[in-house]
Amino acid sequence: MLKQFEEKKFNIPKLKGISAKTTEEHLKLYSGYVKNTNVILAKIDEYSEDAEPIVGSGDEHTYALGEIRRRFSFEFDGMRNHEYYFAHFESGPTALTAKNILRKAIEKEWGNFDKWLARFKSIALTRGIGWAMLYYDSHTERLLNAWVDEQHLGHLTGLAPILALDMWEHSYVADYKPSGKKDYIEDFFVNLNWQNVEKHIKEYSL
């Protein structure tokens, strides 16, 4: 029996701007990513048993394997990105205190917190669907911002996600309209539990 990725449950309070209906629908999408991750791994296992190893052989399972392998990172990262995103809201917003380790690390990297925040919000406004991400690079002890297209294109190898902001339209259009992207980003930060975000960097000795 193959190991299965389990769907996580999140304790999400009432949010400013983001409706319970949006969260409910969004969690269904998350559930789909978990299911599809498991389905792909099962299919890879099944097809690998009998697929011809020669690409272009016309073998049905060889062709299918190539396609689902290509799709795996989309489903897996879709699952994992959402686990970061929903956990950011758990237990309600907390202030980002001057003592917060992440705040100190951001100040060290960008000079001041507001400069980083403006940069991050600007990245979130990138046209298209994807994610604004803040990463920690333990190789160089640096923080880096990045835009990730879809769920998987543009992730930085070997870096740990710290903050993940979903900029797919399903995250905000029902509550904010397409033109309300900026307001959604503002409310994301109002709703953020900075202590939860800080946990992702606490394991590193900064």
- For Fe ion, the binding residues (CB under 5 A) are 166, 168
What's the rounded Cα separation, in Å, for the pair 37 and 32? 8
Query: Which CB, 141 or 169, lies closer to Fe ion?
Result: 169
**Per the structure block, which two tokens stand in for 142?**
């640096």
Among 172, 176, 152, 192, CA closest to 23: 172
**Per the structure block, which two tokens stand in for 157?**
């190898």
Query: Which CB, 166 or 198, lies closer to Fe ion?
Result: 166
Query: Which CB, 25 or 45, lies closer to Fe ion?
Result: 25
Q: How far is the CB of 82 from Fe ion (least distance, A)?
A: 6
Query: Which CB, 76 or 168, lies closer to Fe ion?
Result: 168
| Closest residue to Fe ion in the complex (CB) | 166
Q: Which residue shows structure tokens 């409706």?
A: 19
**Per the structure block, which two tokens stand in for 169?**
């339209």
Query: Which CB, 28 or 115, lies closer to Fe ion?
Result: 28
Residues 6+ apart with CB under 8 A from 150: 74, 129, 130
Q: How far is the CB of 33 from Fe ion (least distance, A)?
A: 9
Q: How far is the CB of 173 from Fe ion (least distance, A)?
A: 11
Q: How far is the CB of 74 from Fe ion (least distance, A)?
A: 12
Q: How far is the CB of 70 from Fe ion (least distance, A)?
A: 21
**Per the structure block, which two tokens stand in for 15?**
């949010």
Question: Within a 10 A sphere around the Cβ of 196, how many other Cβ atoms?
Answer: 18
**Per the structure block, which two tokens stand in for 114?**
């507001």
